[in-house]
Chain A
Amino acid sequence: MSLNRRGFLAGTATAAVVASTASVPQIWASASQRAAFSAADRILVVIQLSGGNDGLNTVIPFGDDAYHRNRFATRIDKKSVVKIDDYIGWHPSLRGFSEMQQSGNLCIVNGVGYPNPNRSHFESMDIWHSALLAPPHRTGWVGRWFDEQAGGKTPNPVPGLHIGDEPLPLAMSGLNIMVPSLKSIESLRLASDDAVGSTIDAIGQAPETKQDLVDFLRQSRNTALAASRRLEAVAGANEIPKGYPRTELARKLAFVAKLIAIDFGPRVYYVTLGSFDTHSQQSEAHAALLSELGGAVAAFHKDLAAQRQADQVLSVCFSEFGRRVKENGSAGTDHGTAAPLFIAGQSLPTSLGRYPSLTELVDGDLVFNVDFRSVYATLLDQWLGIDSQTILGVKHETLRLI
């Protein structure tokens, strides 16, 4: 990254924080820290909230009568909301987010969605992952970037990493490059058997048969074996370190922090939390999930700050859709549309985008104000330093994030 670019980035950072509510000394601390990392070192952590997070009960419009009219069993009462202003406030489980937001480390992007919303979990998830509103959803938005950089002069051998036991997310899938996906470090350890080891050494498999499945499997096998060797260096990565809550999301993010500390290589990490599909008896389950989310993200960014890498990492939390404004008869909520998205990092604005109206609805659902592809364009252009148009196909408006 050239000096000019670096200078430019530092400048924008300063401009952004002037508009934010952070205190003065912090502004300078973070602006100067940010200059230390070029766009080529920056890391994005995607946290997927699977199942459709109830946005209305995450950033709660407690000051709106329409909220109280539509929610009875699932309502969060005014007294327990952690106020952001007189209209909205955080779910009580998200105190961690509230504190981060107050110190300029968390930004709410309100009312994120897309035109002609699809209420199928799978289709809507594919739309978010591929950044394409209609099928075929063959590659992911991050995967296309991996493909792009794989053709470059010094390709990153491990440009992305998915941590979890679900299949590799479509968002991380490219056509030409396969990124590793693992549950924990243990899951990449080969059983020690001499004959097996010799076979692996003797028969390296090149993907060149032109048979789709065979080539795919050979590439997967090679990726897996290579990652297995590299990870042998990271010891004790399975325990949850001090400072993190004892939750699964915290375990995954602590592992990510460790990999970032040793400069393992990926520019994008991907983790999931869920299920947020709260059709019945929503309140308790939703509170537990939000608590897991807020606790883990706050601990992760604190850990990064302790590693002096807070400026190097941005986390983004999204869900495939929000829930319907009116709750159903099972003390739950059905599939809806627009919802807030969260970005954690350094020196961020407190919020972007307008909170959607609770009365001007389409089919009982909120109308989006920010297209999710604008969020991607912002992350690509402003954070990762990649021309978003080449990845997304068209130029989307960007937000004033950084």
Chain B
Amino acid sequence: MNTHIRGHAEDAWSTVDLDHLTIAGAAHLFRRAGFGASLHELNAAIKLPLTDVVDGLLTTNTGTEFEQQSQIMKTVIQAGNLPVHLPAWWLYRFIQSPCQAWEKLVLFWHGHFATSAAKVNSALMMLAQNEIIRRSAYGPFESLVLEISRDPAMLIYLDSATNRRNNPNENYARELLELFCVGLGNYSEIDIRELARAFTGWEIQSGRFAFNQFQHDPTLKQLLGNANIESGEQAVAWIVQQPAAAKFIAQKLYRFYVSDQTPEPEVIQSFAAILRENEFEIRPVLKTIFTSRIFYSNTAYGQKIRSPVELAIGLLRCLDATASPVHLASSLSGLGQSVFYPPSVKGWDGGKRWINSATMIGRINLITEILNHKETRFVVEKNRLDKRFDIDDAESAVRHVETVWLSQPLDDEQRSKLTDIVEKSTPRRESRLLCAFKCAATLAESQLG
């Protein structure tokens, strides 16, 4: 543990030699697999065997009470069909869902098959797409690609609904190859034109997918070296089988879950092999990540810049708090991440691209804003937070922030300066924890997850 994994690609994905997690390991796992956890959750996790913790994270049983609440919000949005209310609904799920890893994975696929409500302009269709992704998130990649290819929101977003026999529209075909399946350099312009023909006649009728045989070009297409492709279904099956597809998805999963830094090619190669061995089933692959040596090494610890959603939801989760999703949605949009409104079909670039001067200031402000907001609710009354988390003095407040929030410990000088400021700014003992969070938020390290 805590070493860099270099050059041992096989080793990278072998199971970490660890029966139980440390507190730091548990905080890391909960941050990456989900959005973060409070000290109480972390303490519970370190008592269980690692595989049990991971299995527990990867479940999809959200419970009826939560789903009922979510459904009420959803029904209201569907009734008005106003897309602007969508982000708040999903943020509610991020904050409240008992299945954090599932929500996180749906967010991953949303960024992958990026579709923006700004163009689709229908809350109903965007919600239906979210449901498709949710249902197939852990499943085989091929069915996800196929469902997305027939999804009305996507058909509108990438103009596939008007992809007609005599005059094909290449937009969807291009992005399917470039951004959804195999990546740049693994197809030609001819493949794009052929694939666009395979998808001709995939239309929307009365808000649903419909195959229009009169607009479909039935002649054979030559796609990625296979001259026997006729239908869009065959095309998708063939594309997903390409070795480049496994590598492409492996890379994206690695960046989302393990590190912003590009690994050695062998690490991706061997991860791609794991994807293929599992026939592109995502759940076992995630389990491999969350129990791997590389995941619990310095190659992964603190090697990701938090997305705005991770920053805000992470703060709430580690304080066992909730906030107004409507208010959060607008703040997060200013930081560059409005769910249901990705900036382009490439989704969010992530990593260093999250950061610029305005978002840096905005991130510092956001923490203060959330903690001061009157609609933010903590698990206990604000003035009892110190008791809930065993905070005795300014130093223990700062140390608590380090444990649950920061992905690497502070150095002694930073810790003592922070402690000093917390001590001086808050004579009242019960406000020290929140003060420590606000002050720590100004440090660059707060942006790492």
Contacts and interface: CB of A to CB of B under 8 A. Distances in A.
A189 B364 CA distance: 10
Interface string A309-336: 0000000000000000001111010110
Nearest to A326: B167
Contacts of A234: none
Contacts, number: 164
Contact of B174 (A119, A167, A216, A363): A119
Interface stretch (B89-97, B130-138, B229-237, B434-442): B434-442
Given A180-B356, A203-B442, A190 B365 contact: yes
B421 interface: yes
Interface of A: 119-123, 162, 165-168, 180-183, 187-191, 193-196, 198-200, 202-203, 205, 212-214, 216-218, 220-221, 223-225, 227-228, 275, 279-280, 327-330, 332, 334-335, 363
A220 B421 contact: no
Nearest to B356: A181
Contacts of B368: 191, 193, 196
A223 B355 CA distance: 11
Contacts of B349: 167
B435 A335 contact: no
Given A194-B425, A220-B356, A221-B360, A122 B189 contact: no
B334 interface: yes
Nearest to B164: A329
A80 to B, nearest CB: 24
Nearest to A332: B159
B169 A329 contact: yes
Interface string B348-366: 0100111111101110110
A165 B358 CA distance: 8
Contacts of B304: 213
A335 B170 contact: yes
Contacts of B305: 213, 217
Given A187-B361, A329-B164, A220 B425 contact: no
Please provide the 7 A-B residue pairs with the shortest distance between their CB atoms, ordered closest to farther.
Answer: A329-B167, A181-B356, A217-B444, A330-B162, A187-B358, A180-B357, A195-B425
A139 B168 CA distance: 36
Nearest to B420: A202
A119 B189 contact: yes
B305, B355, B357, B439 pick with most chain A CB within 10 angstroms: B357
Given A119-B189, A330-B169, A332-B169, A220 B444 contact: yes
Contacts of B445: 214, 217
A180 B359 CA distance: 10
B321 interface: no
Interface of B: 158-159, 162-164, 166-171, 174, 178, 184, 189, 260-261, 302-305, 334, 336, 343-346, 349, 352-358, 360-362, 364-365, 368-369, 372, 414, 417-418, 420-422, 424-426, 435, 438-439, 441-445, 447-448
Contact of B435 (A195, A216, A332): A195
A261 B305 CA distance: 36
A328 B170 contact: yes
Contacts of A330: 159, 162-164, 167, 169
A167 B357 CA distance: 10
A252 B435 CA distance: 36
Given A189-B361, A228-B357, A328-B168, A195 B439 contact: yes
Contacts of A335: 170, 174
Contact of A190 (B162, B303, B364): B364
A168 B369 CA distance: 25
A375 B409 CA distance: 49
13 contacts: A180-B357, A180-B358, A182-B358, A193-B372, A195-B425, A199-B439, A205-B443, A213-B261, A213-B305, A213-B352, A224-B356, A224-B361, A330-B167
Given A213-B260, A329-B167, A188 B357 contact: yes
Contacts of B447: 217
A181 B362 CA distance: 12
